[in-house]
Amino acid sequence: MTAIASQFNGVSVVTKANVYFDGNVVSHTLLMPEGAKKTLGLIRPGSFHFGTDASELMEIVDGSCRVSLDGSSEVRTYSAGSSFTVPAKSGFTIEVPSGLCQYICSFLP
């Protein structure tokens, strides 16, 4: 398993935040030098559903969450240092029981 990045160098940052669910999920977009896009964000306690256009790799930087992918009844717990992938044209429900969950979302080709 690859270590989760603690820093990105040489990127452009979109200054306007992506704000979802009345501010309970907030992220900023990073534009990587090679053209890839990532978001860095945090999720407050609660349960939230997201749809996906592209496949996504979600890496948990801090905190923990419970995740169920659309079409599955399985709920898995992820904590700092772990990750999960969400298929394109799908979705997932993410629940943060307490504290904050910080993440990196990479949009996959």
The three-point CA angle 57-100-14 to 5° equals: 55
* Residues 42, 94 contacting (CB under 8 angstroms): no
Beta-carbon contacts of residue 31 (< 8 Å; ≥ 6 apart)? 11, 12, 13, 14, 37
Work out the mean pLDDT of the chain and round it to a whole number: 96
Domains of the chain, each with CATH number or no CATH: 12-108 (2.60.120.10)
> Is 15's pLDDT higher than 80?
yes
pLDDT tens, residue by residue, 39-53: 999 999 999 999 999
pLDDT tens, residue by residue, 57-90: 999 999 999 999 999 999 999 999 999 999 999 9
